[in-house]
Structure 1
Amino acid sequence: MRARTTLVAATAVALTTALTTALTTALAAPALAATDDHAATGTAVRAAVAAGVPGVTATAQDRRGTWSTTAGVGNLRTGAPRSADDRYRIASITKTFVATVVLQLEAEGRLSLDDTVDTWLPGVVRGHGHDGRRITLRQLLNHTSGIYDYTSDPEFTTRYLLADGFLKHRNDTRTPGELVGIAMAHGPDFTPGTSWSYSNTNYVLAGMVIEKATGHGFGQEIERRVIEPLRLRATSVPGTRSTVPSPSSRAYSKLAPTAEGRTYDVTRLNPSLASAAGEMISSSADLNRFYSALLRGRLLPPQQLKEMKTTVRLDGVPNLSYGLGLMDQTLSCGVHVWGHTGGIHGSASVATTTADGRHSLALNFNGDWAGDLNQVLEAEYCGN
């Protein structure tokens, strides 16, 4: 994925146009094993810095143990390097955590994926053609609801993604209801269940459903059900907290539609603008632990994990499909990896693991206008 300051990369959207382009490579190459010394991965990380990313941190976990590498800087002013222990904003990777909680609630009999949105949030999804009585929770989680993505709203773009607006409004608190309200001012993208389109509004709503079903905020449920059991010490759901806990690096953005111009320090921001669609913070080691545990069945019963891995194909992208908060990607060497990508101001990340959960890789760029995340994945899993 080429990280850049666009509407997608700056607001917790995982599927950028560049990622889609990168994933359309041919699948004719034979399967290859990753190199034992991770040399190709280190080369790809350094290439990202050479391409303009300020700094990169990456950690892999496989049968040989844990391996980490960093390149570039974590602070452009001081020249301090990035750390393998860096915490960073994981943006849309949050969606896998949210989907995991919803599926746990289904396993407990507290809700059904076939429930309509209106069952839990009566009247919330209504207006300009939207109708929560016709949309299921499953369609929220796999992005087949057709609900308009609030981050595509022109006023939202001006206020939070471009320099003048962001610098004035970076500390704004936005409630989930306000974010959904932005989406309801627009028409849906399609009739529910007839197509696929990535929409952050889906997961804001999923977070609201978690709160309605449990009486607790989605962040509290993630902490209780996922973070604490797995001992994810570097992972948090910050709510409205604008800072990133130490150790961490600075995050940088052009705050413009192109990669040209001034570079801004965007580390400090109120993540409520992303809500359950992408407000979380974590580290590469924690993300590896999470995805490995998820795919190995430690967080979900077999039936719910099967539902999560039941994917929708994306038109024109033969080697990428989307399940319930989980992406299935086939790399050029034929290896399947499961995970998610995430982009928010000054932060572009990807976290993946193999189907057996035994080989994982998570990494972060602390800039959103350059570099190729997919190149690092290819290097780690295919040795390319």
Structure 2
Amino acid sequence: MTNLLDPAKLNTAIENVHRAGVPGVFAEVRAEDQVWRGAAGVADLVVGRPVTADMRHRVGSVTKTFTAAAVLQQVESGRIGLDAPIRRYLPKLVPGARGDAITVRMLINHTSGLAEYLPYAYPSLGPFPNLADTRPQSLDDHRFTRFDPVELIEMGVTAPAFSAPGGTPGLYSNTNYLLLGQLLEQVTGTTAEKYITQNVVERAGLQDTGFPDGPHLGGPHSQMYEAWFGMIDPPRDFSVFDMSYAGVAGSLVSTVADLNRFFGLLFDGEIVSRSSLAQMRRTVTVISQEGRTIEYGLGTYPMKAPGGTTFWGGGGTVWGAGTISMTSADSKRQMSVAINLQRWSRLDSSGKPRPHAIDDALTALYGLAMNG
């Protein structure tokens, strides 16, 4: 059998991410029937507890792929029209002409024009993502705040619109996905979290993936250190945090093994149909939360690994935790990586993050994992 993975090189690459400044990093790489799992560094800076590759982790916006898949299942069943106006289903949440103009598809691919609610939920973050003007005090202030998704949606809907519905580039906005959660609740008669759990998570056979029921993580997990561009120094642990601010847009907990399994099944047509997959891969131009221009499909997007090969998947960040998952077009090669530090780069005079050795080390790991 051809050796498609080089464990020694992967171990060195993941160790280099830790040495560059990430307290703990863990990953799983799959190449056909070969699997490598590795970890480097610590899960707790105080006691020195090591990270392990099987740890549960907050995966942030990777949640959106699960939510999009759930909505597309309902599209396949005929209960939701992909190009139907959202006002048909949620007239009170998106009323009037805008509710008639915004379609379900526009919510999934972030071309609704709706604003992001986070600056209003966390007021001291300032005009996020204008990073130079932000202050992270809201993270501590709202550590145990239980947000109502309808109230968060109202913040985003009543804020000044980014653009007219359907305009490009779109704006990556969590408001869109909280609306999709309410849409799922409306058409299924159960909570979005329960529907996604039963019809996506359990359908994929994921044993360590689910939505948290409080601010604490269960099972083996790491602390999660937020630096907020050097404004929190030393980085502070935010592993205990109420994730209701993200809901079905970003609160899911998973493992690197579960993520690889999920994306493998998804892109093999086991979660949604092949026709739905084709819709998921139709991309539009979107402005990311970091202000970059990206291509975005329906809950998933293309990413280029070093070497130029395009992979599909998703990434996510929460306070102190980051995750990325990539899958090749034929699903034969996959990578999921989790780290327990976020926003490690200090800002330059223009308010943009400075280059950091962590970025280079992660890029090297991704390239080795996906290209061999």
Scaled to the shorter chain, the TM-score interval is 0.7 to 0.9
Q: Are 2:295 and 2:302, in contact at CA under 8 Å, matched by a contact in 1?
A: yes
Alignment of 1:23-42 (within 5 A): 36-42=5-11
Of 16, 24, 43, the match for 2:12: 43
Separation of aligned partners in 1, 2:294 and 2:53:
29
List gaps (5 residues or longer) in structure 2.
129-133, 345-357
Q: Are 1:347 and 1:366, in contact at CA under 8 Å, matched by a contact in 2?
A: yes
Instruction: Give the TM-score normalised by structure 1.
Output: 0.84
Separation of aligned partners in 1, 2:286 and 2:238:
32
Indicate how the Cα distance of structure 1 residues 105 and 173 shifts in structure 2: closer, same or farther if over 3 A, else same: same
Indicate how the Cα distance of structure 1 residues 77 and 308 shifts in structure 2: closer, same or farther if over 3 A, else same: same
Report deviation, 1:126. 4.6
Report deviation, 1:331. 2.7
Indicate how the Cα distance of structure 1 residues 39 and 139 shifts in structure 2: closer, same or farther if over 3 A, else same: farther
Match of 2:32 in 1: 63
Q: Are 2:226 and 2:232, in contact at CA under 8 Å, matched by a contact in 1?
A: no
Say which SS state the counterpart of residue 243 (structure 1) adopts: coil
Alignment of 1:1-384 (within 5 A): 36-126=5-95, 131-153=98-120, 155-158=122-125, 162-195=135-168, 196-238=170-212, 240-254=213-227, 256-258=228-230, 261-313=233-285, 321-370=295-344, 371-372=358-359, 373-383=362-372
List gaps (5 residues or longer) in structure 1.
1-32
Letter in 1 for 2:75: E
Most deviating of 316-325 and 102-111: 316-325
Say which SS state the counterpart of residue 182 (structure 1) adopts: helix
Q: Are 1:34 and 1:380, in contact at CA under 8 Å, matched by a contact in 2?
A: no
Q: Are 2:110 and 2:286, in contact at CA under 8 Å, matched by a contact in 1?
A: no
Indicate how the Cα distance of structure 1 residues 119 and 40 shifts in structure 2: closer, same or farther if over 3 A, else same: farther
Letter in 2 for 1:306: A
Q: Deviations over 1:215-264 (max 9, x none)?
A: 111111111112112221110112x411111111111112x443662221
Say which SS state the counterpart of residue 230 (structure 1) adopts: coil
Q: Deviations over 1:266-294 (max 9, x none)?
A: 11011101011101000000000000000
Q: Name which structure has the greater RCO, CA cutoff 8 Å, separation 6+.
A: 1
Letter in 1 for 2:225: Y
Number of residues of Structure 1 aligned to a counterpart in Structure 2: 347
Letter in 1 for 2:202: E
Q: Are 1:102 and 1:210, in contact at CA under 8 Å, matched by a contact in 2?
A: yes
Indicate how the Cα distance of structure 1 residues 315 and 73 shifts in structure 2: closer, same or farther if over 3 A, else same: closer
Indicate how the Cα distance of structure 1 residues 175 and 101 shifts in structure 2: closer, same or farther if over 3 A, else same: same
Separation of aligned partners in 1, 2:328 and 2:58:
23
Separation of aligned partners in 1, 2:19 and 2:90:
48
Say which SS state the counterpart of residue 106 (structure 2) adopts: helix
Q: Are 1:45 and 1:376, in contact at CA under 8 Å, matched by a contact in 2?
A: yes
Separation of aligned partners in 1, 2:320 and 2:277:
32
Letter in 2 for 1:245: G
Q: Are 1:338 and 1:353, in contact at CA under 8 Å, matched by a contact in 2?
A: yes
Q: Are 1:319 and 1:330, in contact at CA under 8 Å, matched by a contact in 2?
A: no
Separation of aligned partners in 1, 2:28 and 2:285:
29
Separation of aligned partners in 1, 2:261 and 2:186:
29
Separation of aligned partners in 2, 1:36 and 1:363:
16
Q: Deviations over 1:17-44 (max 9, x none)?
A: xxxxxxxxxxxxxxxx996314444333
Letter in 1 for 2:274: P
Indicate how the Cα distance of structure 1 residues 289 and 341 shifts in structure 2: closer, same or farther if over 3 A, else same: same
Letter in 1 for 2:88: T
Letter in 2 for 1:377: Y
Say which SS state the counterpart of residue 292 (structure 1) adopts: helix
Q: Deviations over 1:94-116 (max 9, x none)?
A: 00000000001011111111111
Report deviation, 1:379. 2.3
Report deviation, 1:156. 3.6
Q: Are 1:114 and 1:136, in contact at CA under 8 Å, matched by a contact in 2?
A: yes
CA RMSD of aligned residues (A): 2.6
Q: Are 1:311 and 1:321, in contact at CA under 8 Å, matched by a contact in 2?
A: yes
Separation of aligned partners in 1, 2:260 and 2:232:
33
Separation of aligned partners in 2, 1:174 and 1:309:
32
Report deviation, 1:338. 0.6
Q: Deviations over 1:70-124 (max 9, x none)?
A: 0110011110110111000001000000000000101111111111111111031
Report deviation, 1:334. 3.0
Q: Deviations over 1:325-359 (max 9, x none)?
A: 00112334232211001000110110111111121
Separation of aligned partners in 2, 1:219 and 1:69:
30
Separation of aligned partners in 2, 1:377 and 1:80:
25
Report deviation, 1:361. 0.7
Letter in 2 for 1:190: S
Separation of aligned partners in 2, 1:205 and 1:310:
21
